[in-house]
Amino acid sequence: MRFGQSIVDGVFLERPNRYLARVLVDGHETLAHIPDPGRLPGLMIPERKVRLIHNPGPKRKTDYSLALVRHGEIWVSVYPVFANKLVGDALLRRSLPEFDGFLEFKSEVKMGDSRFDFRIDFADGPLYLEVKSVSHVEEGVGKFPDAPTKRGAKHLRELIELKNEGHRSAVMFVSQRQDTTCVTSNDSIDPEFGILLRQAHEEGVELYAYNCEVSDNDISLNIALPVKVTKT
């Protein structure tokens, strides 16, 4: 997935709140929207190089959205929606071996009172898939979430319920950086999510993960990773 001509270079200065970054673009200070409201530990450091999507509009409070942060030798995407788009594009290309043989898929699908990122239809029934974007990595281990997530816990409960009703259900963690070697729950930040992820695994919810290859103007799914679910 290419970012195209709308992405520009900048320098991160500070984060006044979860949704705003103060940045330099062409030597001028401006504000940029931060699509990921998580804590983004180890990334939002003053003077870091960033890449920003320039997308001005009459209803927008800022002309820019923060897309990439330079972290050592790599770029890290802080745009969670990219994870869903990458999975959707891979499904269109039928390049995910985890879902070989599916008939069709739909995104943003309602099921009862819930809405899921994808429904992937097979001859013997549907699979409901939730995608989670991972940005926090410690020594190669991607940890989700980086801030407490009631929404994430709700999704796990719904996927467990679907599995208990006889449907296939799954979570796919997409680490939008290439230094990730596995993914696990971040129990120190959100112990409830960790408990539910272990329960989901025990009850047959499928767990998948990928890291990404990220350049200054392109991001793509890269390598399938193990999801490590350990008992506390």
Q: Which tens digit of pLDDT belongs to each residue from 94-104? A: 999 999 999 99
- Report the distance separating Cα 43 and Cα 39, nearest Å: 9
For residues 28 and 56, give the distance between their C-alpha atoms in angstroms, rounded to a whole number.
16
User: How many CB atoms lie under 10 A from the CB of residue 8?
Assistant: 15
Give the integer Cα–Cα distance in Å for 155 and 148.
13
Residue 56 is encoded by which pair of tokens? 């001005």
pLDDT at 50: 98
Task: Annotate 26-90 with DSSP letters as a single string.
Answer: TTEEEEEE-S--S--TTT--TT-EEEEEE---TT-S-SEEEEEEEETTEEEE--THHHHHHHHHH
What is the chain's Cα-based Rg?
Answer: 18
Domains and CATH numbers, the chain: 4-73 (2.40.50.580), 81-228 (3.40.1350.60)
> Is this prediction's pTM over 0.85?
yes
* pLDDT bucket at 196, cuts 50 / 70 / 90: very high
Q: Which tens digits make up the pLDDT trace of 58-87?
A: 888 899 999 999 999 999 999 999 999 999
